[in-house]
């Protein structure tokens, strides 16, 4: 297959689906694949890099049994455990990120869902951030209801995060306390409430290439706006602790495949950027156009100042757009 020709066809409007032979991506010449993916990114998404940051709003004691997760109560990782953060601490971190030029800020909470007083606290924090800080707001609070999504939107949240994690086929190998269908139903509820959706997954969990391609096709079918690609950092105390970290070549191939299948979405590098040379520098010339950053993060790689300097040096636009 001529992947540069395919890139031009995608730029002209073609979209790949399950009817297409996507197996060729797995064995394609990597340099050609990356060149085509970057051509798609540059033409359809431009040279703007979208920067987002998160705060861990509630940590540990999660009842779900996700095999990769340090915060699952089923895993013995010694992670910090605490209830919902003080609202002022959240606002201070939000302001810090806005002042540093970050475009989006999200509260992320451990647990199957967020409810009761903790959900009320989140809504209050979002409302105050929306009123006082010039930054786009996102949320990540598990499997919420229709009414909860409407409340988040009313509080100023623009985008909701809910990873599908892997392919439908592979999902039961990663988690059994909730289902793939519950994930996709949550995404559809968020969209029905008028929220954009950020959804992706983790690579390097023992899946095969077909699982990665299938995950990208599912996300395209769901019409998500942002696709975080996490590379597993094996954590001691989790069932995946003995896995060998994924190679940079495999990360780059995955990024490129996702760009071909999701040509207009934000392909967002998340955890595991530090598995690549230059904290993923080449990935941003291979289809990626967004990333998680932040001065409190430990698994993505660079801090905010490092990222902004890198992107400016590469000629990307990182200026924050008006809300």
CATH number at residue 85: 3.20.20.70
Mean pLDDT for the chain overall: 95
Q: Confirm whether 277 is domain-assigned.
A: yes
Q: Confirm whether 286 is domain-assigned.
A: yes
Q: What is the pLDDT of residue 117?
A: 97
Q: Confirm whether 205 is domain-assigned.
A: yes
Q: Confirm whether 66 is domain-assigned.
A: yes
Which structural domain range is residue 226 located in? Answer: 3-9+19-313
Q: Confirm whether 261 is domain-assigned.
A: yes
Q: Confirm whether 321 is domain-assigned.
A: no
Q: What is the 3-state secondary structure (H, E, C) of the chain?
A: CCHHHHHHHHHCCCCCCCCCCCCHHHHCCHHHHHHHHHHHHHHHHCCECEEEEEEEEEECCECCCCCCCCCECCCCCCCCCECCCCHHHHHHHHHHHHHCCCCEEEEEECCCCCCHHHHHHHHHHHHHHHHHCCCEEEEECCCCCHHHHHHHHHCCEEEEECCCECCCCCHHHHCCCCCHHHHHHHHHHHHHCCCEEECCEEECCCCCHHHHHHHHHHHHHHCCCEEEEEECCCCCCCCCCCCCCCCHHHHHHHHHHHHHHCCCCEEEECCCHHHCHHHCHHHHHCCCCEEECCCCCCCCCCCHHHHHHHHHHCCCECCCCCC
Residue 249 pLDDT more than 70? yes
Q: What is the pLDDT of residue 233?
A: 94
| Residue 298 pLDDT grade (very low, low, confident, very high; cuts 50, 70, 90) | low
> In total, how many domains does the chain have?
1
pLDDT in tens, 157-187: 999 999 999 999 999 999 999 999 999 999 9
| Residue 301 pLDDT grade (very low, low, confident, very high; cuts 50, 70, 90) | low
Range from 57-66, 144-153, 195-204, 257-266 carrying the lowest mean pLDDT: 57-66
Residue 322 pLDDT more than 80? no
């Amino acid at each position: 297959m001529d992947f540069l020709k395919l890139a031009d066809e995608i730029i002209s409007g073609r979209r790949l689906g399950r009817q297409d032979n996507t197996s060729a991506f797995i064995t394609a010449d990597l340099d050609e694949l990356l060149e085509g993916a970057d051509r798609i990114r540059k033409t359809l998404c431009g040279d703007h890099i979208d920067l987002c940051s998160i705060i861990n709003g509630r940590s540990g004691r999660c009842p779900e049994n996700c095999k990769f997760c340090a915060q699952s109560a089923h895993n013995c990782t010694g992670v910090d455990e605490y209830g919902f953060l003080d609202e002022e601490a959240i606002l201070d971190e939000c302001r810090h990120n806005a002042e540093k030029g970050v475009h989006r800020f999200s509260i992320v909470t451990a647990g199957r869902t967020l409810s009761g007083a903790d959900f009320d606290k989140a809504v209050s924090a979002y409302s105050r951030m929306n009123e006082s800080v010039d930054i786009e707001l996102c949320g990540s609070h598990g499997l919420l209801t229709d009414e909860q999504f409407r409340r988040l939107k009313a509080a100023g949240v623009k985008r909701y995060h809910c990873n599908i994690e892997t392919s439908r086929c592979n999902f039961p190998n990663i988690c059994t306390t909730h289902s793939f269908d519950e994930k996709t139903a949550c995404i559809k509820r968020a969209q029905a409430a008028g929220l954009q959706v950020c959804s992706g997954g983790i690579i390097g969990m023992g899946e095969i290439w077909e699982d990665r391609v299938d995950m990208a096709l599912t996300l395209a079918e769901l019409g998500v706006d942002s696709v975080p690609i996490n590379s597993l950092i094996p954590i001691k105390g989790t069932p995946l602790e003995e896995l060998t970290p994924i190679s940079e070549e495999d990360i780059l191939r995955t990024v490129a495949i996702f760009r071909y299948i999701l040509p207009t979405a934000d392909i967002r590098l998340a955890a595991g950027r530090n598995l690549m040379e230059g904290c993923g520098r080449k990935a941003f010339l291979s289809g990626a156009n967004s990333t998680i950053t932040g001065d409190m993060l430990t698994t993505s790689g660079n801090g905010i100042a490092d990222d902004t300097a890198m992107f400016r040096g590469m000629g990307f636009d990182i200026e924050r757009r008006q809300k």
